[in-house]
Amino acid sequence: MKANTYFVAALLPCIANAGDFTAESEIGSTFTFGNTESQSVNFALDTRYRVGQMQFSLNPSWIRTKTAGEIVSERIDIASQARYEFSKYNYTFVEPNWQRDRPNGLESQTSVVVGMGRYLGSSDSLTWEGELGYGLQTETNVGADAVEDSIGYLALKGKSQLSDNIRLDFKVGSKLAEENVETKAKFSASVELGESMWLRVANTLKHNTNKVGFGGEKYDSTLSLSLVQSW
């Protein structure tokens, strides 16, 4: 089954009338350091829908980078997850993801992970959870054949409400393939400017031990400043 089918299937429950829907839209500037240094414009959308013991999320993002007037990167990333909470602290999930960055040599990367998650702790000000899964990944670079691999998946994520108008979020995750281990960590701090409007500063660290099409180890650190509208 193609990745697009998974995305459509994950969205179908959103058509139902009953349920709890939340969303955030984000637009801002991104600064990248490491193997590549650049300034970019970024846009992201975070949508979540809950009905009963089911929760669905869809998180598309787009980053365009220009250097000397030329587009050197135009990254499209669509992440999604469907989860079923079978007990107070445990859930199963399926997580399809798709990426593209043609100017940077990536035709497409598609992965589907199935696994288990657990709520590790929860309070009025702090929640965090861990996930463990297994899946398949296909990566195609421009002018090259597709590379297919099985992957292991580990993730730890959470959020902390420091006060009524200050929130911290974090996620650390790794995809373990035979030829490459990809680790991504994102930390963000959001300050409420007004009703449903936030200012967010985020730092994203990404490391590949052997990036296909890059010729070896690749490391990037991204700092972004964005305005966030929630509803």
Amino acid 213: pLDDT? 55
pLDDT band at 65 (very low <50, low <70, confident <90, very high): confident
* Tokens matching residue 226: 């964005």
- Write out the residue range of the structural domain in which residue 187 sits: 3-230
Amino acid 134: pLDDT? 98
**Domain tally for the chain?**
1
Rounded CA-CA distance 30/44 in Å is 12
Amino acid 68: pLDDT? 66
Q: Specify the CATH number for the domain of residue 226.
A: 2.40.160.40
The yes-or-no verdict on residue 124 having pLDDT over 80 is no
pTM above 0.85, yes or no: no
The yes-or-no verdict on residue 119 having pLDDT over 70 is yes
Residue 23 φ/ψ region, left for φ over 0, alpha for ψ in the -120 to 50 degree band, beta for the rest: beta
The residue written with tokens 């993730």 in the block is 155
What's the mean per-residue pLDDT of the chain?
85
Over residues 210-229, the mean pLDDT reads 78
Over residues 157-172, the mean pLDDT reads 93
How large a percentage of the chain has pLDDT more than 90? Answer: 55
How would you class 219 by CB atoms within 10 Å of its CB: exposed for 0-12, middle for 13-18, buried for 19 or more?
middle
* Tokens matching residue 4: 């697009």
Query: Distance between alpha carbon 221 and the CA centroid of its chain, in Å?
Result: 15
The residue written with tokens 């696994």 in the block is 115
pLDDT tens, residue by residue, 171-215: 999 999 888 889 999 999 999 998 889 999 999 898 988 765 555
How large a percentage of the chain has pLDDT more than 70? Answer: 86
Rounded CA-CA distance 55/85 in Å is 8
User: Rounded to 5 degrees, what angle do the CA atoms 199, 59, 78 make?
Assistant: 130
Residues 6+ apart with CB under 8 A from 159: 126, 127, 128, 167, 168, 169, 170
pLDDT tens, residue by residue, 8-54: 444 444 444 457 999 999 999 877 666 656 678 889 999 999 999 99
Q: Are 82 and 94 in contact (CB under 8 A)?
A: yes
Residue 63: DSSP 8-state: E
DSSP character string of 140-162: EETTS--EEEEEEEEEEEEEEEE
